[in-house]
Chains A and B, each alone.
Chain A
Amino acid sequence: MSSASSPVTAPASGRGYAPPGRLGRILSRNGPGYLFLLPWLIGFFGLTLGPALSSLYLSFTDYDLIQAPNWVGLANYVRIATADPKFNAAMHVTFLYVALSVPLKLMFALAVAMAFNRGIAGLPLYRAIFYLPSLLGSSVAIAVLWRQLFAADGLVNGMLAWFGFQGPSWISNPHYSLYTLVVLSVWQFGSPMIIFLAGLRQIPGDLYEAAEIDGASNWRKFWRITLPLLTPVIFFNFVVQTIDAFKAFTPAFIISEGTGGPINSTLFYTLYLYQEAFGFFRMGYASALAWILVIIISLFTAFAFLSSRYWVHYDE
């Protein structure tokens, strides 16, 4: 408005006002924000990024908790790749576990979600009850309970005996032990089930009505409408559950009492890693194992995302 407006200047005081540096300006402007962020920043840098980078360094050393780490270059990785039969066994068990437990769990979760989606009385109660195993599933207590259920003289065999069958010891027989853990994993279907249910609720009912008028059977509606429109949710559940399955530890640890037995049949990758780190104190070697798992999970996730453009349908 005024043509004689003066430019903004620093206040002229006799106290020698020193303009703050860039960092100082940012902190003074956003100080409270950073203060609220502080717990997370401490957690992220102190408990996640710091240990992760430290383990990356240790994976190139022979650190054993007692002596200072010595740089050994790629020796740990070379040994893993060429001279570690237990690594191969752990990979075999883990991949088999992932390949079986993830699809089975997702199929079971989807089936239950579809049953719930038909609109039954008392749905919130059933939803809570069915979700419960997911809350308890990875706990030590449930793994212990599972061991009791599937032991040679456990409840499962007791029930089979009523029908005249003599069941094996599910957890101490190498032919069955891994499958017992797969069943335990499938039992924890609550979390993907809730997400599937939310996804099913998002599919507009008139798509089914249009298909109904077209004479589509329930089976055709499922394959041509439900499944394609659920692919974003299937994709999410698939990625999350697969990562979880790669990282599974507690059930195998409890059921095999930390051995991964019988005959390495439940030697999950993380269990083997744990044995190397806290059984034999080969921290450098265990760190290398951990980074290989990170790479495997990253590759898998990247592949899942890249492939998603061909099979995941996003509306709008």
Chain B
Amino acid sequence: MSTSIQLNKVVKAYGPLRAIKGIDLSIEPGEFTVFVGPSGCGKSTLLRMIAGLEEISDGDLLIDGERMNEVAPSRRGIAMVFQSYALYPHMSVYKNLAFGLETMGAKKDEIDRKVRHAAEILKIDSYLQRRPKALSGGQRQRVAIGRAIVREPRIFLFDEPLSNLDAELRVQMRVELSRLHQQLGNTMIYVTHDQVEAMTMADKIVVLRDGQVMQVGKPLDLYNRPANQFVAGFIGSPKMNFLPAKLAGNAGAAGEGATLEVAGTSLPFGRALPPALAGEALTFGVRPEHITVGGEAGVFLGEVEVQLVEHLGGQTVLYVSTKGGEMLTVVIDGQMRVTHGEKVALRVDPALCHLFNAEGLAIAA
């Protein structure tokens, strides 16, 4: 029983301020969609509008094709897990799980069955009589999810549910949530500012900025083909390196790639570019993991000076500066013997590089 969600030109205005600026979005039944973006981008507001906790100023929200703008939250078939967990501190875990069902007027034995079933799924059945204050962060999180499960909603909404957990528990809960999604098959919307969470859990990522959708797509599509410089910088860790660039000489004809001038070096881009770009201030982007040090593969990006080295064991992270003073991050697989102040030659595969115009939009090759 999966459910689709459709947003048509949805706006949220607080007086003259428009927090959500006309969003169009379609979420397919059973999809795990992640809203991601920096603080203040409107992702939580958008989620709360879907939940019915915030009024929709303009546009339409459709759930399974039915307009829901004025429908009360409890009648939208949703359940929500809050960042703070929002557990009732004066009630036992059992009572917390049962509260929604009691409110709906469910019978006692039905409540008991559903509560115990949810507790079993989430492995919280051994502390049903405890109060939330007697639970760890991870256990509280499970109770919060359990409270959503018992209601058997059509849609699960998660508002940064893992941000109060430590790093190890976050990874564990991430896996558990993904497993829960596979098990239940419901439509889920998950809000986070953490792009790693977005990449690892989502079927579909919606990147937001200033109340607008920057790009919608599958995680690897966003990683491989970012539509703009913002998405390119936001998705991927460490973030993509950006260098000022311009078209050097001709834009390249068929079979002959354009040449770019990047960080004082002429770089064969390998692809033809629109001649109209001549003279425009462009931005060249390359991910840290797509740069190699030394060797013969790819094309020469420039000689740089190593400023800082981080040895992570499986990877070596270099922070280097170009002749022009721009800082770059380079991630090398494995362990590399390199020291501060050393000069190294960087090479890149042009096929893995990105180019953005003055407005920050990706230039299609």
Count: A-B pairs, CB below 8 Å: 61
What would 29 A/B residue contacts be, using CB atoms closer than 8 Å? A206-B82, A206-B84, A209-B53, A209-B86, A210-B147, A212-B53, A212-B73, A213-B51, A213-B52, A213-B73, A213-B78, A213-B79, A214-B74, A214-B104, A214-B151, A215-B73, A215-B74, A215-B75, A215-B100, A215-B103, A216-B74, A216-B103, A220-B103, A224-B88, A225-B88, A313-B89, A315-B133, A316-B89, A316-B133
Task: Please pick, from A213, A215, A229, the residue contacting B90 in the complex, using a CB distance under 8 A.
Answer: A229
Shortest 8 CB-CB contacts between residues of A and residues of B: A215-B74, A214-B100, A313-B90, A206-B86, A210-B86, A315-B89, A228-B90, A213-B73
- Interfacial chain B residues near A239, Cβ < 8 Å: none
CA–CA, A221 to B350, complex, Å? Answer: 60
Contact yes or no, A210 B89, CB < 8 A: no
User: Interface residue count for B (Cβ, 8 Å)?
Assistant: 23
* CB interface residues, A 175-205, toward B, < 8 Å: 204
Residue of B nearest to A225 (CB): B88
Q: A213-B100, A216-B99, A316-B133 are in contact. List 10 more A-B contacts (CB 8 A).
A: A210-B88, A213-B73, A213-B79, A214-B74, A215-B72, A215-B73, A216-B74, A216-B103, A229-B90, A315-B89
* Chief secondary structure at chain B's binding surface: mixed
Interface string of B131-154 (1 = CB under 8 A from A): 001000000000000010001000
- Interfacial chain B residues near A206, Cβ < 8 Å: 82, 84, 86
B267 CB–A CB distance under 8 Å: no
* CB interface residues, A 209-267, toward B, < 8 Å: 209-216, 220, 224-225, 228-229
- Interfacial chain B residues near A220, Cβ < 8 Å: 103
- Interfacial chain A residues near B72, Cβ < 8 Å: 215
CA–CA, A206 to B79, complex, Å? Answer: 13
CB within 8 Å for A204 and B74 given contacts A209-B53, A229-B90:
no
A207 CB–B CB distance under 8 Å: yes
B206 CB–A CB distance under 8 Å: no
* Interface set of A (CB-CB < 8 Å, partner B): 204, 206-207, 209-216, 220, 224-225, 228-229, 313, 315-316
- Interfacial chain A residues near B82, Cβ < 8 Å: 206, 209-210
Contact yes or no, B74 A212, CB < 8 A: yes
Residue of B nearest to A208 (CB): B86
Contact yes or no, A207 B104, CB < 8 A: no
- Interfacial chain A residues near B79, Cβ < 8 Å: 213
Contact yes or no, A229 B100, CB < 8 A: no
CA–CA, A316 to B135, complex, Å? Answer: 11
B80 CB–A CB distance under 8 Å: yes
CB distance from B171 to the nearest CB of A (A): 25
Contact yes or no, B103 A229, CB < 8 A: no
CB distance from B320 to the nearest CB of A (A): 45
Contact yes or no, B88 A207, CB < 8 A: yes
CA–CA, A225 to B96, complex, Å? Answer: 11
* CB interface residues, B 20-63, toward A, < 8 Å: 51-53
Residue of A nearest to B81 (CB): A210
CA–CA, A293 to B285, complex, Å? Answer: 82
- Interfacial chain A residues near B151, Cβ < 8 Å: 214
CA–CA, A212 to B89, complex, Å? Answer: 17
CA–CA, A209 to B144, complex, Å? Answer: 13
- Interfacial chain B residues near A224, Cβ < 8 Å: 88, 99
CB distance from A93 to the nearest CB of B (A): 37
CB distance from B51 to the nearest CB of A (A): 7
- Interfacial chain A residues near B99, Cβ < 8 Å: 211, 214, 216, 224
Residue of B nearest to A206 (CB): B86
CB distance from A121 to the nearest CB of B (A): 14
CB distance from A188 to the nearest CB of B (A): 30
CB distance from B53 to the nearest CB of A (A): 5
CA–CA, A127 to B51, complex, Å? Answer: 34
CB distance from A222 to the nearest CB of B (A): 13
CB distance from B131 to the nearest CB of A (A): 9
